[in-house]
Structure 1
Amino acid sequence: MQPHRQQHWCLGEVNAAFLARMEDVLAIYERPVDPRFPVVCFDERPCVLHGQPVEPLPPVPAHLAQGQQPAKPGRPRRESSTYVRQGTACLLAAFEPGVGQRLVEVSARRTGADYCRFMQRLAAHYPEAEKMVLVQDNLNTHTDAVFYQHLPAA
């Protein structure tokens, strides 16, 4: 007889390291709001930029085929789902859950330099903060070293 395997709420294997980090993050979210130590969540999201449809849909025919119903008043105009791809962009976003503030920027790329620029802007957004508590994933650009690569040492 095989032992019953417990199902987890997320995809992938949940291990002890994941659970320990999750508990740390949840404890951070429970901290009282303190402007000297704001808790800020950060993430990035690549996006595909879509242009207008290549060709408009043909107009609704004047004479309907047998079995077709005319469009009802108030229904939206038909549009094609075909689009022109116009490149990509990256959405950088920071959110302070305790107070509901957010800071958003659109960047052409998702590089260490873009991350550093956004973090400088984010720090300037909190001039009264002694230290910002930053919650983020472990993407390769989210390291201390990236600051030394893209900013003056001072």
Structure 2
Amino acid sequence: MAHKYLVDLTEEERGYLLDVIRKGKTTARRVARAHVLLRAAEGATDEEIAETLRLGRSTVHRPRQRFVDDGLTAALSEPSRSGSPPALTGKQAAFLIALACSTPPAGRHRWTLKLLADRLVELRQIDMISPDTVGRVLKKTTSNRGNAKNGVFPVSVPTTSGLWRRSWTCTPNPTIPGIPQCVLTKAPCS
């Protein structure tokens, strides 16, 4: 079967692709694309390349097409992805967290994700939000909706130094988020 996108490599391009494969200092996807282009230059069909390299046919076809249309750099690189904007802004997420830590509505022992989503819409913080999105936002923090004393603070990251550590035992309440409280462990804690 004749291909619309025929890969014709120069010696310089072939050498560059072999370097990409040999050095191993790049992503596996980039190495796979280099293999695809080399095999395509040898005259292999998309089906043969896909079977040999254990790739999908579209994974084989796209680098070949990008090479012919845009050149070697475009064929090896990954096209940018648009992504979707975050469901909540920072202010809205902070409001949600504060709401989750507040006292639940009358007749309820605790907030549910549906109640939180409905309250955000009711208070006109956002036009529409699903309980699943509320759960994902809350999961990014260490919050305990059942205990108001705990509050909400970012997940603590272990220190890389053996001499320093976070001192939560010396403070009766959690400290302000974003302000690390560290002490030298050789000095006694009062």
Greater RCO (Cα-Cα under 8 Å, separation 6 or more): 1
Name the structure where strand makes up a greater proportion of residues: 1
On whether the aligned pair clears a TM of 0.5, the verdict is no
TM-score, length-scaled by structure 1 = 0.21
TM-score, length-scaled by structure 2 = 0.18
When Rg is computed on C-alpha atoms for both structures, the one with the higher figure is 2
Name the structure where helix makes up a greater proportion of residues: 2
